[in-house]
Amino acid sequence: MKSYLAELFGTFALVFAGTGAIVINDVTGGSVTHVGVSLTFGLIVTAMIFTLGNVSGAHLNPAVTFGFWVSGRFPSVKVLPYVISQCLGAFLASGLLRFLFPEHETLGATIPAGSMAQSFGLEVILSLLLMFVIVNVSIGAKETGVMAGVAIGAIVGLEALFAGPITGASMNPARSLAPAVVSGHLQPVWIYLVAPFLGAYLGVWGCRCVQEKGCCVNVQEPSQ
């Protein structure tokens, strides 16, 4: 139960801080800036990994949980409870933002700036890179494990920095679903529900291509 609560609270923090930065940037006329929003996402992920990694692994993302399961490093019985906890945390964050900023139209929902195909392709690649980094930094030397939070937060911030203006750089179904439902912007949400899972799957296979044989098979998941 503690691991589920950790996922709920961690995902709440991620969505509240990340989409909250988008909302505040809008209502203050751009005071946070796109760079600031990207840094917010990266920093909150880093903080939650260091805070909750030893409790739940700090997945904070249904696609990451799926990726660990595909890699054989996460038990099947915990996948659904993790995903439910993550989505509940995201919805609590979006609900609170709706209460605090009732006039805001999107609440930080991810809405494609280009074509659907362009955003779908970008989200797959972004999620692939994210999962590739996560899986690789969570195996091997102890020193890698200590810096895993920094590496994962850095890739989240980097991808938000360069791809955010086109896709919103979600890489996270819970992060996109909650503000889309609460704000009523559901038309493009399928992209952000499908692409991250596909990208996470490909990211695990990428790890298998560069790591020693057996790196992603029946290995107990370490804390990030």
Query: pLDDT tens-digit profile of 45-66?
Result: 999 999 998 898 899 999 999 9
In which region does residue 214 sit, left (phi positive, over 0), alpha (psi from -120 to 50) or beta (all else)? Answer: left
- Which residues touch 151 (CB under 8 Å, ≥6 apart)? 133, 137
Structural contact between residues 41 and 157, judged by C-beta atoms closer than 8 angstroms? yes
In the predicted structure, residue 215 carries a pLDDT above the cut 80: no
Task: Write the CA distances from 161 to 156, 178, 199, integer angstroms.
Answer: 9, 22, 19
In the predicted structure, residue 220 carries a pLDDT above the cut 90: no
Per-residue pLDDT band for 147 (boundaries 50, 70, 90) equals confident
Structure tokens at 37: 């929003």
In the predicted structure, residue 86 carries a pLDDT above the cut 70: yes
What are the two backbone dihedrals, phi and then psi, of residue 37, each rounded to the nearest 5 degrees?
-65, -45
Computed over every residue of the chain, the mean pLDDT equals 90
What domains are defined for the chain? Answer: 2-210 (1.20.1080.10)
Average confidence (pLDDT) over 92-115: 95
In the chain, pLDDT over 90 holds for what percent of residues? Answer: 79
Nearest C-alpha neighbor of 19 from the set 83, 71, 89, 66: 89
